[in-house]
Amino acid sequence: MAGSFKRALGRFRANTVGTAMNFFRAGRSVYVLACGLIILALGIVVLISTISSRDASAASGAWNTFVAMAGSNQWVSGSFLVASAAIMLSINYLPRLEGEA
9-52 pLDDT per residue, tens: 888 888 888 877 777 776 667 778 889 999 999 999 999 998 88
17 lies in some domain: no
Closest by CA to 71, choosing from 85, 96, 54, 88, is 54
56-101 pLDDT per residue, tens: 888 888 898 888 888 888 999 999 999 999 998 888 777 655 555 5
15 lies in some domain: no
88 lies in some domain: yes
61 lies in some domain: yes
Phi/psi-derived region of residue 51, left when phi > 0, alpha when psi is between -120 and 50, beta in every other case = alpha
Query: What sign for the dihedral angle of Cα 8, 13, 18, 23?
Result: positive
**What is the pLDDT, as a whole number, of residue 55?**
81
5 lies in some domain: no
CA dist., res. 84 & res. 77, Å (int): 11
CA dist., res. 21 & res. 17, Å (int): 6
98 lies in some domain: no
- How many domains is the chain partitioned into structurally? 1
16 lies in some domain: no
Domain extent at residue 61: 29-93
Q: In terms of pTM, does the model score above 0.85?
A: no
